[in-house]
Each structure stands twice: as structure tokens, then as C-alpha cells.
Amino acid sequence: MRDRTVPALAIACAALLAAAPLAPQWLVFLLALALAKGMVVLGLVLLMRTGLVSFGQGLYFGLGAYAAALLAHRGGIADAALMIVAGAACAAAVAAVLGLLLARYREIFFAMLSLAFSMILYGALVKSSALGSTDGFNLHAKGFAGIALAAGTERRLFYAVSVVVVFAVAWLLHRYLASHWGRLSAAIRDNELRVEYLGASVYRVVYVNYVAAGALAGTGGAFAALAVGHVDPETAYWTTSGEFVFIAILGGTGNVLAPFLSAALFEGLRTVANQYAPNVWQMTLGLAMLAIIMFLPGGLWTLLRRRGAP
Amino acid sequence: MSPILVAQGVQKSFGAVTAASDVNLSFEPGAVAGLIGANGAGKTTFLNMVTGYLRPDSGSIRFDGRELTGHTPREITGFGICRSFQIPQLFHSLSVRENLLVAEGIAAAERVEEATDAVLEHFGLAQYAAQYAGLLPEGIRKLLDVAMALVARPKVLLLDEPTSGVAADEKFGIMDLVMGAVRGQGVTVLFVEHDMDIVSRYAARVVAFYDGRVIADGAPDRVLGDTEVRRYVIGEEAHAAA
């Protein structure tokens, strides 16, 4: 079947951009959050394609959010573009160090180690009164790439920027997955021994993918911080990491569009459920996960694929 | 001509079980040798030591003058030794073509797509190109496994039971394709095999293992006619007694 991912990405990007000036504020906020989380899940999909499940992407999500926020709050640089770069760079730098260790582990050991590192950050943030402890602190971007922002327009602008950045990254990841290294990642998931016997370094591929996933999570964290206007230790908490895994399983790893569809569905469900069934919505999510695992192990994307999706 | 692969005094034990006992072997460039022996005789252990999966307890294995002991399988592949496996080691969720693309990509072929198509064509795998490797019949899995090993253009090719589990009428076809791919390229081929018809047709030299030792080494007629080989490897006395 012909791959129609790129046209689908372009159409989705154009539709979301067109919605920027027209959609109600609540919808812009919800979509911005979904895009930020979709970005994190995109990295998780890359790891899952390599056969790894991280329960610690909250570490990089939190780092990205706090790095962006601190740049404005403490560094006095309230330019959203620089804040996003800071979030991505900080997360990538930490992933580059931790990846040296984590790339040696697989399966439950990888999952638990990644969880442990995220909980270390959570613990440090909770104990740090200088960073607002459990309350966190607010942030406010005053401009974007040197252009001052008019009051009331910034949320829509950040949303539009996140649409462009997220879809550009999704396109790049789509190309990466179709490249030699992308195939190599899938080969590692299937049979590491054979990859080594063909002469490639499994460690190197896992390391590169891990750092890339960290950078994506950091970027997502910075976008989320800009959308919400606030950061707190919950960004690094294990339930946040679990949420990313939930979204990845909900959507499936079959296509780079899947994380965004499932993230939007997840945020939409949460918003509606919080309003109409605030006490049972987590139970509803649990049941949804059970149904997905039992009936659609490839995620919701398999439903779309049956209908001719790319 | 100096040998390309030399094993000297190689020893390997797993607890009380001796898998290699003072193994001394050398192979010339372009040689085609069959390694025979009953299960547990030490054939696969020898291949595993050559390819770095196992480390000998003592002794030396040299390739092209370079000591292999202590190197990883990846490094040894880089030196020019590739292998296939008794149980084909494929990428099950990838198609046949993608399996070969991965191998060609690692081998840094200049034109990966064209090179892959050529391999598919040579091994008669073109009709299976789009099928998932995990769903292939055993004979095709074996062929793909060997084809992937050959993609790196090795100087030494080690085949671990390339025709085991394959229907009798397919065995010669597989070996013809493999030998056709390496013919005239100076590749040294060592293949582990239980089928003596295959051994006598394709090997110019036969090495017989028993209990971790080499009990016979030479031309096929001589080795397959050796009394010890007939008793311990082919099991003629056991059949006669039965």
C-alpha cells in the first residue's frame, strides 16, 4: 500500500493551523496540550520501535518544562523560542549522560531504571523550595523570536508554533523510521543478536534513539509549560510518565500520526470526564486500556489502517 | 598459500562437559569444508568461538594473522567472518526485503536498493520479498538467513546446519544457491552438516568432531570411510547392532 503519511501530516497541520484564530480558547488550550504530549509520545514510539518501554519520560518532560520556565523566571529571558530551545537542549543533555547507562539495559530493567531517574527529579523538585516545591511556579513568555507579543494573543501563537514544530518533527521522524537507522531500530527490537552478527552496534542505535526521545520529551515539556503557564513537580511524577505510555498504547506505534490522535482523544476524554464523571474517569481510562490491549493490541491506529489510513 | 583461519590448541569446557579439546585446524582461502559430528560433538561450539560468541578457555584462533579471542561478534564480522545459524536468526516483524535492506545497510552497500534486489533475485527470494520473515516456510527462512550472512561479502562464511529442518528435495537447491553465490570469490566456507550426501557433494575437505576432539580431517572419501568416523559420527555399528 502506498504510504500517504506525508500528505496526511500536511493536511492535519494545515487544518490545525487554520483552527488557530477561529477555535475557542478552551479548544486551543486542549489541542496545545495534546500536541505537547503527542511530541513526548513520539519519542516513546521511537523507543518502542526499538523494543524499549520507558516509564520515565516524565523526567525529560519535567526537565524541559522547568528549563523553559527557569529561563524566563530566573534568567530573565522570556522569549518563547529560546525557552523551547532551552527545554529541548536541557533534556537532550541529561539524556546524553543517562543514556550511556540506560542503553545497556533492556525490558523491565530499562523500564524501572528510567522510572527511578524520573522519581529522583520529582523528589528533588518537591524538596526544592527555591523552585516552588510542590506548588511549582508560574511563567510568562513576553515574546517569540524577538517579536513582542500582544496581550491575549500569546496562547494562540504558541499553539500555532507548536503545530508547525510538532508536525515538522513528526515528518522528520517518519523519514527516520523509513531510513536505514529506522529499520535497524525495528531489527534490534526483533533480534539484537543478529544485528550484532551483521556488524552493527546495538548500543549505539539504542543510545541515539534514547537521546532523541529525551529531546522530544523536553520539547514537549517546554510547549506544555508555555501552554499552561505553570510548572510543578507533577510533570516528572510517575503518573505523568504512565500517561505517556497509556497514550502510546492507545494510539499504537504504527504511524507518527497515531500519538497525536491518541493524545487529542486522551485530553478530550479527560476534559469531558472531569466535568461529568470526576470520580470515575480514571476507572473509565483503565477499562479503555483493557479493551485496547484485548481487542486492538496495535492501538487505535489499526482501526484507521483497516479503513485505508497511511 | 598461507591459511586464512587458524585454530591452535583450542579448549572449551562447560562445567564437566568438554566441548573443545585441543582443537587444531587451519583453512586456506577459498576452501570449502564440511564439519561433521554427532550432536554435542563440538561443531557449533567451534563456530561460536570463531565468531566471538564464546571465548575459548585456552588456545588461539587467528584470522588473517589477527587474534580473534577477546573480540566481540560485531568486531569479528567487521574483520570479514560472517555466519548463519542452526535456527535462522531473522527479523520476524520485517519483510524479507527489509531483512536484506538492514543487512545491506549495515554492510554499507553503495546502492542498497539495487544490491538488495540482486540478492533477492539470486536466492530466488523475490516472490517472498513482501512477506514477513516470521511467516516464511523453513527452507526460505534458511535461505534468507544465509543470504543475510553473505551480504557483508565475507572472507570466511560459517554455515551452521544450513539444510537442517528442510525437506530432502530442497536441500541440494539451497546448497547450490549458496555455493553459487560464493563460487570464484575466494570465500572460505565452513559448514556444519549432518547429511553426508550434502557433505560429500559440496565439501572438498571434511573435519569430523567427536567429544570435542577432531578425530579425522581430510578429503571426504577418506574421512567418511574412516572407521572411527563411521562408528562415532555416522553410527554404522549402532545400525548394524539394531
- Reported ipTM: the value is 0.89
Residue B77 sits at the chain A interface (C-beta within 8 Å): yes
Q: Is the pLDDT of residue A112 over 80?
A: yes
Show residues of chain B in contact with A201, CB under 8 Å: 74
Residue B103 sits at the chain A interface (C-beta within 8 Å): yes
pLDDT of residue B242: 44
Domain that residue A177 falls in: 5-306
What's phi and psi for B84, nearest 5 deg?
-115, 175
pLDDT of residue A255: 87
Give the closest-approach CA distance of A16 to chain B in angstroms.
34
**Closest residue of B to A183, CA-based?**
B102
What chain B holds in terms of domains, given with CATH numbers, is 29-53+71-90+136-241 (3.40.50.300), 93-131 (no CATH)
pLDDT of residue B111: 84
| A302: confidence class by pLDDT, cuts 50, 70, 90 | confident
pLDDT of residue A307: 62
Cα separations (Å) of B139 from B96, B135, B198? 13, 12, 15
Mean pLDDT (whole number) for A105-119: 94
Interchain pair A183, B105: CB under 8 A: yes
Q: Which three cell numbers stand for residue B76?
A: 569479528
Q: Tell me the three state secondary structure of residue B87.
A: coil
Residue type present at position B22: D
Least confident of A18-22, A275-279, B128-132: A275-279
pLDDT of residue A310: 57
Ramachandran assignment for A132, one of left (phi > 0), alpha (psi -120 to 50 degrees), beta (any other): left
Interchain pair A186, B94: CB under 8 A: yes
The pTM is what? 0.89
Give the closest-approach CA distance of B35 to chain A in angstroms.
21
Interface test with A, best of B72, B79, B97, B106 (most A CBs within 10 A): B106
* Average pLDDT across chain A, whole number: 89
Q: Is the pLDDT of residue A41 over 80?
A: yes
CA angle A185, A188, A191 (to 5 degrees): 150
**Closest residue of A to B73, CA-based?**
A197
Q: Is the pLDDT of residue A274 over 70?
A: yes
Mean pLDDT (whole number) for A181-201: 94
Mean pLDDT (whole number) for A273-277: 81
Q: Is the pLDDT of residue A20 over 90?
A: no
Q: pLDDT by residue (tens digit) across A204-262?
A: 999 999 999 999 999 999 999 998 989 999 999 999 999 999 999 888 888 898 888 88
Q: State how many domains chain A has.
A: 1
Exposure on the CB side of residue A21, measured as CA atoms within 13 A: 2
Q: Which residues of chain B have pLDDT under 50?
A: 240-242
Query: For residues A65 and A88, what is the distance between their CA atoms, to the nearest angstrom?
Result: 9
Give the closest-approach CA distance of B78 to chain A in angstroms.
6
pLDDT of residue A250: 87
Q: Please list, residue by residue across A162-198, b when 16 or more beta carbons sit within 10 angstroms of its beta carbon and e when fewer do.
A: bbebbbebbbebbebbeebebbbbbbbbbbbebbbbb
Give the closest-approach CA distance of B51 to chain A in angstroms.
8
Give the closest-approach CA distance of B82 to chain A in angstroms.
7
CATH code: domain of residue A273:
1.10.3470
Query: For residues A67 and A70, what is the distance between their CA atoms, to the nearest angstrom?
Result: 5
pLDDT of residue A309: 56
Least confident of A155-169, A274-288, B56-70: A274-288
Residue A184 sits at the chain B interface (C-beta within 8 Å): yes
Show residues of chain A in contact with B99, CB under 8 Å: 187
R_g of chain B, CA atoms, integer Å: 18
Interchain pair A183, B77: CB under 8 A: no
Show residues of chain A in contact with B103, CB under 8 Å: 198
pLDDT of residue A75: 79
